Structure 1
Amino acid sequence: MVDKAAFFMAEGRPFASERIAGVNDNMVRSHYHEFFEIYYLEQGRRQHIIEDSQYILQPDEFIIFPPFVMHHSFEENDVPFRRLLLYFNPEVIRSPQILRTLSERARVYKLPRAQSAPIYNLMKDILQEQERDDLYSRELITLMVNALALQLVRNSDEAARPEQRNRVTDIINYLHEHFTEDITLEQLANHFYVSQYHLCREFKRYTSSTIVQYIHNLRVLHAQRLLQESDYSITEISKRVGFSNVTHFNRVYKSVTGMSPSQNKQAYLKRGKPADLGMLESIRDDMTVGDLCQLAPLKTLSPYLFTHMSEDMWSRQLSAFGLEKCAIPQALGAFCQAERAGTFRILDVYSREVTDRDPEKAQVKLLYLAGKADMPFALVCPGGGYNRQWTLVEGLPIAWQLSQMGYHAFILLYRAGKTGLLPDPLEDIAQSLQVIGSLAESCHFTTQHYAVCGFSAGGNLAALWGTRAEGYARYGAPRPAALLLGYPSTAHGLMYDLLEASRDPAFRTGTGQYLARVAGSNFTRESLGRFSPVTQMDADFPPVYLVHCQDDPTVPVQSSHLFEEALNQAGIVHRCRFPAHGGHGFGLGIGTDAEGWLDQAVRFWQEAMGPTDGK
């Protein structure tokens, strides 16, 4: 059966509609589109496999498929049906909020007739206007598609649940989770306690596809997203989606899509970036943190830009942080693109069982941005006085640049915001490393030669992790290959002495609250020493790169001078840089005297790894 609407979309139309009737029209394999599809069943009955879930569609029930969602439909023999289809590109939807909701997942609607009738009528009107095709048809169809999208979003909470799972849906779910691995029929049959013959026969009956075809389709689907939304080379993409040979990847890709990966990449470049990401280019200094958090493309990231959000932080203008200095718009854009490409993930560090017992641990997350295959990873610890994490300034831009250099970056959102916090965040690092280690094979990175990068209070945390007494050895973890520290708080004895001598109310309040979060409200110089890297350093301390501006108004540069002296006395390999101007919280430091520090730090890390690693 010919799908003319799909041909219209291939010709470059922004939307296309068609009514199709048939009998025994079972799809030969699961497929996906780069555009939205609304499938409205007018007559008959159809079974749909959507990724790893199965649904049964009856008349006046319908589905919306976002781009890049695997699906196919089938039915028993001799059951006639009629469906009404509508395809449209994401750029047609004018509301970023509506587009975001529609893009979240496929939804199956089984609504009462009174609720489905307006949607059905709009779809019929769109088809009629397409056939009319006069001077005003395109604009009118655009308005109707947006009205239709609004109706779908209004009813999104009423989407139906899938049918009861069976072995095939379990197999499909397994394939979606493991498609980047080398999956054999023997392994799959053993995993599901079934013979290879029955496995293949049952899978083909439900999906109209062989297991090998399905895996190829999955890999090509994810490859298309990486081609469209990342800067990875074709060779790198082939590895990421599970092909060991780029020639084989090219052959399979062309058999599925009809064009080579390089041709597909050129087509995406001509098309340009998704429309809703364009609003990130309009971020201005006079916007507030609250304004930023409410931008539609940042729905996933906004809760983590500043953890433990307060009203004063919500109202603070972005000029206080420096958009250009930290390359904030570019970093946000890169993370949004990575989210769509599937190369950015948010991970829970502790299991549900653990967080049920200790709810504070639920705040601990890892924001993972993938790098190149077989490269090491860096754990990034943003600062924030142990009161919150400044992820927007000291997390996202750093991770973005590390990823651009090929390294895998994990931003750690450790526990914060309470008095007597330490050593809890050190436990968070230890547990994070276990989570990261469990991902190494499937995400194609090495756990050897990892680095810990930290800023301000996060720099204190990173440096403490380098000590045997409080850090890696205490938790039975491997020693980092290097510590990359930005304006770290490493000498709490100095902070205590400055607090005692100061008559500045603002300094006394801020410093006193910070030290109380480190060692409790009754802190002493001695109790602070336990969490002061200067006093805890030993001969096994990792190599250190440190940058700290001389005009830092928050963490005195003397702290890092004392730390450098301790490094010298312990014989630790290190490189320290003390630019004249740049202040505190400079992140990447673009346009300041500290500019270029991260490139230097990564070269230092590479030297610490040895001549053949991390290149």
Structure 2
Amino acid sequence: MDNPLFDGELVHSNRILYTPSPFARSSLLHLQEVGDLQARQAHASARSGLASYLFFLVESGAGELEYEGLRRPLRTGDCVFLDCRQPYLHRTGQDLWHLRWAHFYGPNMGAIYRKYQERGGQPSFHTAQAERYRSLLQQLYKAASSDDYVRDMVIYGKLVDLLTLLMAESWRPGPVRAARAKRQNLQQIKDYLDVHYTEKITLDDLAERFYINKFYLTRVFKEQFGQSVTHYLMQLRVTQAKRLLRFSDHSIETVAQECGLSDANYFSRLFKKVEGISPGEYRRQW
């Protein structure tokens, strides 16, 4: 668990980079990061390919979100809830914003986010309950910074409360487009990769597990998500490798194994191909 005060040229922030227990990581909704920031200069932040979900509240100021090919203005009292596996960018405007946020994940988050979307939930929306969201995020921060021996369960409860509030605000009855069923089928495969990327996975395995033609899977997955199954799997593994290289003292061989690649030499070549530097060089940067 890390609790730094960051005071830079672009932002002033408090955050906790949280490390859940193995039980929480495998079985519960679990926290990855929580904090708040005050922008000091206009700037943008872009991410993609992260096994994480992000919620943030704009407590003051204004900015915008780019997500799913759309640009959405944000103002005080707006909330953002998005899937960080998809590319996104948010930026503050000249009215420099103050944000409060949490990154979290869990074995069923893909299904939960799909249900949020089915109910009419949007990546950004204006809330009349900003104080409730603010309170929940503050409670998450407090729980993550405590030494309570059941804090993973406390955090789990707060995340359930957050998602329950999001579900309540998302409810907008209306027709569900038929095309969504097709998207959900492939989303299940994507969710499976997010959980099982440390295992040996082939197109034949996926085709058999999900009762789908592998050539159809290859074509439609790329159409829907903008990259091949193989590239997405590689991206997941490299992202996990970067996390382990930065926040653990595991050997390169162990990192490779925990990312689903038993050959450390192949892992190093793959990592350098994607990141432009070797795993050892990447670790030394931090």
Give the TM-score normalised by the residue count of structure 1. 0.26
Measured after TM superposition, the shift of residue 33 of structure 1 is 2.7
Matched AA of 1:102:
Y
In the alignment, structure 1 residue 138 sits paired with structure 2 residue 152: yes
Cα displacement string for residues 188-238 of structure 1 (whole angstroms, at most 9, x for unaligned residues): xxxxxxxxxxxxxxxxxxxxxxxxxxxxxxxxx9x976744774279x999
Measured after TM superposition, the shift of residue 18 of structure 1 is 1.0
Do the aligned residues in 2 keep the contact of 1:19 with 1:82 (CA within 8 Å)? yes
In the alignment, structure 1 residue 26 sits paired with structure 2 residue 44: yes
* Aligned equivalent of 1:39: 56
**Change in 2 beyond 3 A, CA 1:267/1:128:** same
Does the residue aligned with 1:69 lie in a helix, a strand or coil? coil
Q: Distance in 2 between matches of 1:6 and 1:103?
A: 28
Does the residue aligned with 1:144 lie in a helix, a strand or coil? helix
Does the residue aligned with 1:109 lie in a helix, a strand or coil? strand
In the alignment, structure 1 residue 83 sits paired with structure 2 residue 93: no
Q: 1:71 aligns with which of 88, 93, 107?
A: 88
Deviating 4+ runs (over 3 angstroms): 1-13, 96-100, 102-106, 223-231, 236-244, 252-260, 263-269
Q: Distance in 2 between matches of 1:140 and 1:258?
A: 26
Matched AA of 1:111:
T
In the alignment, structure 1 residue 54 sits paired with structure 2 residue 71: yes
Do the aligned residues in 2 keep the contact of 1:66 with 1:106 (CA within 8 Å)? no
Q: 1:257 aligns with which of 239, 242, 245?
A: 239
**Change in 2 beyond 3 A, CA 1:144/1:50:** same
More strand by percentage:
2
Q: Give 5+ residue unaligned stretches, structure 2.
A: 1-10, 174-186, 207-214, 243-254, 262-286
Does the residue aligned with 1:132 lie in a helix, a strand or coil? coil
Question: Please, what is the CA RMSD of the aligned residues?
Answer: 4.8
Do the aligned residues in 1 keep the contact of 2:237 with 2:259 (CA within 8 Å)? no
Cα displacement string for residues 349-371 of structure 1 (whole angstroms, at most 9, x for unaligned residues): xxxxxxxxxxxxxxxxxxxxxxx
Q: Distance in 1 between matches of 2:84 and 2:236?
A: 19
In the TM superposition, 1:361-440 aligns within 5 A as none
Do the aligned residues in 2 keep the contact of 1:92 with 1:146 (CA within 8 Å)? no
* Aligned equivalent of 2:267: none
In the alignment, structure 1 residue 121 sits paired with structure 2 residue 135: yes
Q: Distance in 1 between matches of 2:127 and 2:104?
A: 22
In the alignment, structure 1 residue 232 sits paired with structure 2 residue 209: no
Q: Distance in 1 between matches of 2:218 and 2:17?
A: 28
Does the residue aligned with 2:149 lie in a helix, a strand or coil? coil
Q: Distance in 2 between matches of 1:81 and 1:225?
A: 33
**Change in 2 beyond 3 A, CA 1:92/1:82:** farther
Q: Distance in 2 between matches of 1:36 and 1:53?
A: 18
Matched AA of 1:126:
L
Measured after TM superposition, the shift of residue 53 of structure 1 is 1.4
**Change in 2 beyond 3 A, CA 1:157/1:224:** closer
Do the aligned residues in 1 keep the contact of 2:56 with 2:81 (CA within 8 Å)? yes
Measured after TM superposition, the shift of residue 139 of structure 1 is 1.8
Q: Distance in 2 between matches of 1:89 and 1:46?
A: 25
User: Which one scores higher on RCO, CA 8 angstroms, separation ≥ 6?
Assistant: 2
In the TM superposition, 1:515-530 aligns within 5 A as none
Give the TM-score normalised by the residue count of structure 2. 0.52
Q: Distance in 2 between matches of 1:40 and 1:98?
A: 20
Does the residue aligned with 2:48 lie in a helix, a strand or coil? coil
Measured after TM superposition, the shift of residue 40 of structure 1 is 0.9
Q: Give 5+ residue unaligned stretches, structure 1.
A: 160-220, 270-615
Does the residue aligned with 1:86 lie in a helix, a strand or coil? strand
Do the aligned residues in 2 keep the contact of 1:38 with 1:85 (CA within 8 Å)? yes
Does the residue aligned with 2:127 lie in a helix, a strand or coil? coil
Q: Distance in 2 between matches of 1:123 and 1:82?
A: 14
The percentage of aligned residue pairs carrying the same residue is: 12
Matched AA of 2:101:
L
In the TM superposition, 1:405-554 aligns within 5 A as none
* Aligned equivalent of 1:109: 125
Measured after TM superposition, the shift of residue 24 of structure 1 is 2.3
Does the residue aligned with 2:51 lie in a helix, a strand or coil? coil
Measured after TM superposition, the shift of residue 127 of structure 1 is 1.3
Matched AA of 2:103:
Y
Cα displacement string for residues 517-563 of structure 1 (whole angstroms, at most 9, x for unaligned residues): xxxxxxxxxxxxxxxxxxxxxxxxxxxxxxxxxxxxxxxxxxxxxxx
Q: Distance in 1 between matches of 2:20 and 2:14?
A: 10
**Change in 2 beyond 3 A, CA 1:97/1:75:** closer
Alignment coverage as a number of residue pairs:
196
**Change in 2 beyond 3 A, CA 1:44/1:266:** same
Q: Distance in 1 between matches of 2:160 and 2:236?
A: 34
Do the aligned residues in 2 keep the contact of 1:32 with 1:69 (CA within 8 Å)? yes
Measured after TM superposition, the shift of residue 151 of structure 1 is 1.0
Measured after TM superposition, the shift of residue 102 of structure 1 is 3.2
Q: Distance in 1 between matches of 2:164 and 2:151?
A: 20
Cα displacement string for residues 453-475 of structure 1 (whole angstroms, at most 9, x for unaligned residues): xxxxxxxxxxxxxxxxxxxxxxx
Q: Distance in 2 between matches of 1:44 and 1:148?
A: 23
Measured after TM superposition, the shift of residue 155 of structure 1 is 0.7
Do the aligned residues in 1 keep the contact of 2:238 with 2:259 (CA within 8 Å)? no
In the alignment, structure 1 residue 8 sits paired with structure 2 residue 18: yes
Q: Which has the larger radius of gyration?
A: 1
Q: Distance in 1 between matches of 2:154 and 2:237?
A: 37
Matched AA of 2:100:
L
Does the residue aligned with 1:24 lie in a helix, a strand or coil? coil
